[in-house]
Every structure is written in structure tokens, then in C-alpha cells.
Amino acid sequence: MKNVRAIWMIVISLLLGLAAVVAAGKWVIERASVDASSVIIASRDIDVGTRLTPDLLQSTDWPRASTPPGSFQDAKRLDSRVVKVNLVRGEPLLESKLAPEGAMGGLSGVIAEGKRAITVRVNDVVGVAGFALPGNKVDILVNTKDESDKPISKIVLEQILVLAVAQDLGRDETKAKVVNAVTLEVTPEQAEKLDLARSVGTLSLALRNQIDKSPGTTDGVRTRDLLRLRAETGTAFPSRSKPAAPKPTVEIIRGIHKTEAKLAAKETR
């Protein structure tokens, strides 16, 4: 009898434990459903300028207390919207990362309000060996001649956003991409200055640190600035040796003949 009673006690304990586990699990699920909300995220990496379609989106649970501002809960609201930044898989779709409603896909949907896109021709040197990628900031230099018809190199535009290289809006920092054209985002005034600069001289791009906002206020560099004297720069340049002094000569007249002879230098002791 005692063994039977012990077995029954064990069975009852197991049943009570199982019931407690089920109840606790149900409570946790209900609690999570109360504190979570659905958020639309990217189902895969999405390049800038892409028009959104249902296959690029998916819904996931997100803690309600940390729901990102501007996120979406309904994928239908994102139909045909255009992304203006690169998105990675699992990243929430936010209003701040989208072009205005009605914007077309491609480059036009990426240009900020009040800005313009202008394309300049580059080579592997001008294009910073292919390291000027979409999303980078660059300074633009022009090499031309000043009012005195002397060569000068000068920074004419600073912190200019690279929108695209060739026809590529995507940003892949794993490798450089040498192209023959770079598209930049500028204001209307900057577009005029850039158009004039490329018509009067040759352009070069200088890649900037993304977090460096310091202005490059310079007067430009001229040829004479590269050849300053030692007193000004502390740099010694090779000096030319002075020509040797001519040796003294004497005229010797013999009859009608006249000759010249150089005197030997006097030895000094």
C-alpha cells in the first residue's frame, strides 16, 4: 500500500508541475503579446533608389516600448514608396528613410528637397582611385589660371554628397570602383559654380572623413607657393654653384702678331 501511495503522490506532483509550466508559458505569451507590436522590416538588403514591393517587406514583432518613431505597421502603406538610403536585412522601414510619396524610383527619388544632381567626368585619379562611393562626402578642386594668367589650384566646393558612381546608386565599401562619371548632390548655386569650374579648368575630387565638418578655408596654391625660399618655409633647395672667375690674361705683341696668354694662378701657402 505504501508503494502505491508513493507512486500516486509522484504522479500527482508531476501533473501539478506540468500544469504550472503550461500556466506560466501561457502567461508569458499573453504578456509578450500585450507589450509587443508589429513593425515592417526589410526582408533583404535594399539599395537606395529602389521602389518598394511586397516581396521586399515583412512584418515582425517589436517591443512596444522601443518601437522606432516613424515606423510602419501596415505593409500596404509602403507600396511603391522609394527608399533614399541603403537598408540592410531586418532594418525597420522609417518615414525618414523614404522619399516623399509619389517620388519616382531611381536617382530622382534620392535627391533631397531643394538640391540638384549634376554629373562630372572623372578618371581613376580625379575619382580618388574609385574610393569615392555613393554616400561619401568630397571636396572639389579646380586647377586653372588666375587673373594674371598664372596656374592656381583652389578648393571651390566642400562637403559635397556623392549620389552615384556611373549608373550605380548602391554603396559597396568592400572594393573600389573606377568609373568615368560621378553624380553629385548640390544646391543650385553650387551647380552653377561647378559647371563654371569644369569649363575653365580641370577638376579633382578630395575624399573627406565622414565626420569631419571643418571648412577648408584656403587662398589656393600657385606655382610660386611651391617654390618659396628657405627663409619663408625652412626648406632648403639645391643652390646653383657660382661660375668660376675668369683668369687674368696678358697681351703679347711680336711684330704684327698679337697673342693672349692666361696667367697661372698664384699658389697660396
Q: What is the pTM (predicted TM-score) of this model?
A: 0.58
Give CA–CA dist 177/30, Å, rounded. Answer: 52
pLDDT in tens, 204-257: 888 888 777 788 778 888 888 877 744 455 555 554 555 566 667 766 666 666
| 182 and 102 share one domain | no
pLDDT reported for residue 269? 44
| 100 and 200 share one domain | no
| 115 and 69 share one domain | no
pLDDT reported for residue 217? 74
Q: What percent of the chain has pLDDT above 90?
A: 16
| 195 and 145 share one domain | yes
What's the structural domain count of the chain?
A: 2
| 118 and 200 share one domain | yes
| 116 and 58 share one domain | no
Q: What CATH number should be reported for the domain holding residue 83?
A: 3.90.1210.10
Task: Choose from 152-161, 177-186, 210-219 the range with maximum mean pLDDT.
Answer: 152-161
Helix (H, G, I), strand (E, B) or coil at 74: coil
pLDDT reported for residue 57? 92
| 82 and 139 share one domain | no
Q: Which helix (H) or strand (E) holds 202?
A: strand 202-207
| Residue 251 located in a structural domain | no
| Residue 95 located in a structural domain | yes
Give CA–CA dist 50/74, Å, rounded. Answer: 19
Contacts of residues 262-266 at CB distance under 8 Å and 24 or more positions apart, as own/partner, are none
| Residue 56 located in a structural domain | yes
Task: Choose from 26-30, 41-45, 178-182 the range with maximum mean pLDDT.
Answer: 41-45
| Residue 49 located in a structural domain | yes
Domain that holds residue 166: 111-224
Which residues lie across from 165 on neighbouring strands? Answer: 168, 182
| 174 and 202 share one domain | yes
| 204 and 125 share one domain | yes
Dihedral in degrees, nearest 10, Cα atoms 238, 239, 245, 246: 60
| 103 and 120 share one domain | no
Task: Choose from 35-39, 122-126, 173-177 the range with maximum mean pLDDT.
Answer: 35-39
| 136 and 191 share one domain | yes
Residue at a domain's end among 51, 84, 108? 108
Mean pLDDT of the chain: 78
- Lowest average pLDDT, out of 87-96, 134-143, 231-240, goes to 231-240
pLDDT reported for residue 229? 47
pLDDT reported for residue 231? 43
